[in-house]
Amino acid sequence: MQRKGVLCLGNFPLEKKLGGNRRDGLPRVAFPLGILQEDCGEISCDRVTLKPPPGTRGEGGPARTVHAEAAPDGAPRTGRARRCIYLCASMRSPNMALFKQQKVEDVYEIGEELGSGQFAIVKKCREKSTGMEYAAKFIKKRQSRASRRGVRREEIEREVAILQQILHTNIIKLHDIYENKTDVVLILELVSGGELFDFLAQKESLSEEEATRFIKQILDGVNYLHSKKIAHFDLKPENIMLLDKNIPIPHIKLIDFGLAHKIEDGVEFKNIFGTPEFVAPEIVNYEPLGLAADMWSIGVITYILLSGASPFLGETKQETLANITAVNYEFDEEFFSNTSDLAKDFIQKLLVKDIRKRLTIQEALSHPWITLKEEAKVQENKKVDNTQLKTKRLREYTIKCHSSMPPNNTYINFERFARVVEDISLTERGFSTLAASHDSLQEDIDALVSIYNEKEAWYKEENESVRHKLSQLKYEYRKMESLKRHLQDDIESVGASLTGITGKYADLQSQYESLSQELSEELKWIQDLMSSFQLENEACVNGNFDSVFNKDINESLMELLNRSRCEEFLTGLNLDVAKSNQ
């Protein structure tokens, strides 16, 4: 059963401290006056009916039922834990981010570190006034838009706004918020039971009935989120914690809302984020995202929980993402020989690429594998001899994940690492300084070796490149030399041809000049002859020897033509032998 809304007055600063909270440029935050409380089934919660306080905006309205937390023995708590008041629903606006401008050390005693990430550190803390223990998450703020270090303020405000909207038994609770120049500090519910998978891996055996109980709690938490149109977007084993593992059925808590988003109707949201092993295909393909992405992650978690194997995990991140987009998985007989058909059907209907055909949270909660009674499940799953192997494989999976897990903004299994640290400190306490120096020196050596290897590889690559270029240049040079020789041969051949042509031209020129001189002489002789003809014609007008003379002239001209062999030179003379008869 879940409780939907306990909010204590101690979570908020007094009204007089709010007037100066204008450093971030936000409008003045009004003092919270009310929150709507609905039905609660929490065993440790007592219903208390209160009317709006006099002088408030709710005065004169109907009485509402709110809740007071109960002490472990059942008696209502006193002091700040009972000061639950009628509050106005406006303070639950997603955009409200009330950060106390106060040193967190003034209110809480900060203890040991529980975990760390790239830009966040989680430490155990104790409230000085009540002695209550919490987890303080120190989030490093980004100091400028150009900087890449730290988290942007709007992202922190989004996470805080979402945490302020949710109050569910299977979700971590936000208790308080502080801010200084460098960090935003979230005071969160202390979840000390470790990760769910670590807890199950330590068990001797695991039945499907036990697995179903834990999956049901995960579904309940996600159902609450989806009812508020909130998608977690980072559901994975590391973000599924146990409140206390020392009870028969530990209570699950969903943590780390750094990637969570409110899904608004008509607003398209796309992003590429999350852990590759658990992200949905629509994230990999950069498609519009919605609540269905969480259901895919639940399918992957269930697959791993029942088999100890990851359905899509490849040798590389690219291979993992390719398996996800292709929905490339199968129920290996080695891992699922003793798994019921209902469990496989539950997983199959979650690992569907089409979000329209993927199970919704309500459909998942109504699935027979979740709703079926234990007796029916025993009949459905008759093979129960090899459950020990499941926990063994799950143990191997968790060890492998922890050994290769990068830093993240969530809790880690503190107890496991605390034991390791304690053993190391007992056996090597006297050599801590030497070990630190050795580690530092080894890191320097590794760095130098890495740099040397990189430079050597670069030099080899450059050497191969230069060698290849030299080979190409030699080939081109030989090719040009061959072309040069061919060109020289062609030039010499052309030169020889030109020499021959020049000689022939000189010979022809000489012949032409000789012929021209000869023709000139012949033409001169003809002109002289014609002149003599004209003189004789004038002298002999009535002579009888005209015909004889004309015959001699014709014979002389024919002889001349035969001697000259150039009739074209006579055309310009306009000679007509017949006219001479006149």
CB atoms within 10 A of CB 34: 22
CB-CB contact of 34 with 89 (8 Å): yes
Beta-carbon contacts of 343 under 8 Å, excluding residues fewer than 6 positions away, are 208, 211, 302, 306, 369, 381
* Angle formed at CA 171 by CA 167 and CA 177, multiple of 5 degrees: 65
Q: Is 234 a catalytic residue?
A: yes
Task: Characterize 458-496 residue by residue with b for buried, 16 or more Cβ atoms within 10 angstroms of its Cβ, and e for exposed.
Answer: eeeeeeeeeeeeeeeeeeeeeeeeeeeeeeeeeeeeeee
Tell me how far apart the alpha carbons of residues 70 and 76 are, in angstroms, rounded to a whole number.
Answer: 4
CB-CB contact of 17 with 30 (8 Å): no
Candidates 183, 220, 234, 256; catalytic one: 234
Give the helix/strand (H/E) hosting 416.
Answer: helix 414-428
φ, ψ (nearest 5 deg) of residue 254: -85, 130
Helix axes 414-428, 432-539, angle to 10 degrees: 110
Tell me how far apart the alpha carbons of residues 412 and 193 are, in angstroms, rounded to a whole number.
Answer: 10
CB-CB contact of 402 with 232 (8 Å): no
Handedness of CA 510, 512, 518, 521 (dihedral sign): negative
Alpha helices of 228-316 — where are they, by DSSP H? 281-284, 292-307
Tell me how far apart the alpha carbons of residues 377 and 383 are, in angstroms, rounded to a whole number.
Answer: 11
51 has binding-site annotation: no
Task: Tell me the CA distances in angstroms from 153 to 11, 56, 150, one per residue in order.
Answer: 21, 33, 9
Helix (H, G, I), strand (E, B), or coil: what is residue 115?
strand
Handedness of CA 440, 445, 448, 450 (dihedral sign): negative
Beta strands in 180-307 (DSSP E): 183-189, 230-231, 240-242, 252-254, 261-262
Tell me how far apart the alpha carbons of residues 95 and 160 are, in angstroms, rounded to a whole number.
Answer: 9
From 579, 522, 582, select the one nearest 556 (Cα to Cα).
522
Bridge partners of 521, per DSSP, are none
Token output for 70: 């109960």
Instruction: Give binding residues as ranges.
Output: 141
User: Residue positions in the annotated binding site for ATP?
Assistant: 141
Residues noted as catalytic: 234
